[in-house]
């Protein structure tokens, strides 16, 4: 009878799947909006508040630093709260940070403090979202669902760019943050009911016990390897997203056309993420194996940018974004599959590297540009992706050895 009840409860949770993953994707976008809006509204923040580019960059870095420091403990919090409660709390905190920026920011320290809150919220949002999808989506569709969720990041970049002419230049930069907060609040209101959280937690306790529910299946050393692979990929992506527009303009491309390069790349990245997730589900491709190829091919695309002429900035973003920034969904899928007992706790650890790389890429990229050239920046980006590809091969071999199987997830 207990098994039958558990099966019915689990089936009820799975039935929410079709309306869960779009909401999770939208919520993920909202959790990234505070930082991406700040980057997009840099000119307006400088004119109205008097913040320099360095101060804006440091404030954005504070957000990623907070997310990196709190990612692992927030993963365990997500396991304890359940996916719905954890995700709603994180999204509410993201909305509060955006409302706070709109209402109170008049100095660097105020912006840095509120973006730190946004980073803390993102640290909870990411593992909560992964847990929600892992427990509410059929395994045969999980790759596409995670790819959709991870498309929230480039979507936030697109929304941030669109908010400048649509909102900031018409009614004021504060209303761009207010609009983001409204979307976040609406996302919370549309989230599925509590029944999924209760049934999943009960099933987890029955199968694994209370202590196992927050402990990943893989050891910490393997999860640190995952985090390192994610850091290498995110470092290259962070540098590319941060400087491809200015690099295109510096190469001689028309400023208006240069501004479209990032939009083109982000759109290609979203399409490729969805395609990668669908292919993994449809053809049973191992996500870690596909990750190796994406990093390698992405390195070739970034290397093309090192030619540093206007034409390459129109052509190279296609492979650079299609491969070099389409891996996050597969990255999380691999972690989730190899840690079924505690996917949130596991991705909380692996996500540390992604947050560190997201902060490291723009920071190191700026130093390279100021003391070298854009060509050196793209050589650096290609080298980090190449190193990540090699390390992913090693990671796969370690997983095989640890799990005693020939086909790790």
pLDDT profile of the chain (409 residues), mean per 10: 39 56 87 85 84 80 90 91 90 96 94 96 92 86 88 79 76 92 92 52 39 70 96 92 81 78 85 94 91 96 94 93 93 92 90 91 83 92 97 93 62
Question: What is the pLDDT, as a whole number, of residue 230?
Answer: 97
Evaluate whether residue 23 is within a structural domain: yes
> CA torsion 298→304→309→314, rounded to 10°?
-40
Half-sphere exposure of 34 (CA within 13 A, CB side): 37
Q: What is the pLDDT of residues 30-53, one digit of tens each?
A: 998 998 888 778 778 888 998 887
Whose structure tokens read 């804006």? 56
- Assigned domain for 101 exists: yes
Calculate the dihedral angle through the C-alpha atoms of 198, 329, 361, 317, rounding to the nearest 10 degrees: -150
What domain count does the chain have?
2
Q: How far is CA 17 from CA 83, 90, 277, in A?
A: 13, 20, 16
Q: Do 248 and 196 belong to one domain?
A: no
Give me the helix-helix angle, 17-40 and 108-136, nearest 10°: 160
Domain that holds residue 241: 216-404
State the burial class of residue 110 (Cβ atoms within 10 Å of its Cβ: 0-12, 13-18, 19+). middle
The CATH number that applies at residue 290 is: 1.20.1250.20
| Dihedral, CA of residue 379, residue 380, residue 386 and residue 387, to nearest 10 | 150
Domain assignment present for 152: yes
Is the same domain home to 225 and 295?
A: yes
Q: Do residue 195 and residue 247 come from a single domain?
A: no
Residues 254 and 185 in one domain: no
Contact 366, 57 (CB under 8 A): yes
Residue ending a domain, among 197, 214, 231, is 214
Last residue of a domain, one of 165, 180, 214: 214
pTM of the model: 0.82
pLDDT at 196 (0 to 100): 47
68 with 104, same domain?
A: yes
Q: Contact 288/396 with Cβ under 8 angstroms? A: yes
Instruction: Flag whether 283 is in a domain.
Output: yes
CA 196 vs CA 188, 299, 341, 344: distances in Å: 15, 41, 17, 16
On whether both 73 and 195 belong to a single domain, the answer is yes
Assess whether 295 and 171 both reside in one domain: no
Task: State the residue for tokens 């910490």.
Answer: 220
């Amino acid at each position: 009878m207990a098994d039958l009840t558990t099966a019915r409860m689990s089936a009820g949770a799975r039935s929410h799947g079709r309306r869960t993953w779009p909401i999770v994707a939208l919520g993920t976008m909202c959790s990234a909006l505070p930082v991406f809006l700040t980057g997009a509204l840099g000119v307006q923040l400088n004119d109205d508040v008097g913040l320099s580019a360095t101060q804006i960059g440091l404030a954005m870095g504070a957000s990623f630093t907070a997310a990196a420091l709190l990612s692992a403990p927030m993963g365990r919090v997500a396991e304890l709260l359940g996916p719905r409660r954890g995700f709603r709390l994180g999204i509410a905190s993201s909305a509060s940070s955006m409302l706070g920026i709109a209402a109170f920011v008049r100095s660097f320290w105020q912006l840095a403090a509120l973006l730190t809150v946004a980073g803390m919220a993102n640290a909870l949002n990411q593992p909560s979202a992964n847990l929600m999808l892992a427990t509410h989506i059929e395994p045969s569709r999980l790759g596409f669902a995670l790819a959709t969720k991870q498309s929230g990041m480039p979507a936030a970049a697109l929304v941030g760019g669109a908010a400048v002419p649509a909102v900031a230049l018409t009614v004021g930069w504060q209303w761009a943050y207010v609009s983001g907060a409204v979307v976040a609040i609406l996302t919370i209101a549309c989230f599925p009911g509590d029944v999924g959280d209760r049934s999943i937690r009960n099933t987890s306790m029955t199968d694994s016990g209370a202590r196992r529910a927050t402990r990943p299946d893989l050891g910490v050393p393997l999860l640190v390897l995952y985090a390192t692979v994610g850091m290498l990929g995110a470092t290259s992506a962070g540098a590319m997203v941060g400087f491809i527009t200015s690099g295109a303009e510096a190469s001689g491309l028309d400023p208006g056309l240069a501004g479209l390069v990032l939009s083109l790349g982000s759109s290609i990245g979203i399409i490729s993420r969805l395609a990668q997730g669908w292919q993994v589900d449809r053809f049973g491709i191992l996500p870690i194996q596909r990750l190796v190829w994406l990093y390698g091919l992405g390195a070739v695309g970034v290397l093309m940018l090192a030619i540093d002429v206007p034409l390459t900035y129109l052509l190279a973003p296609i492979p650079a974004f299609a491969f070099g920034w389409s891996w996050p969904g597969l990255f999380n899928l691999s972690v989730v599959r190899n840690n079924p007992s505690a996917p949130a706790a596991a991705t909380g650890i692996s996500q540390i590297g992604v947050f560190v790389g997201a902060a490291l890429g723009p920071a190191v990229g700026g130093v390279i540009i100021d003391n070298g050239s854009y060509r050196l920046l793209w050589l650096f980006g290609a080298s980090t992706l190449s190193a990540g590809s090699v390390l992913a091969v090693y990671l796969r071999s370690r997983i095989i050895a640890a799990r005693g199987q020939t086909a790790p997830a």
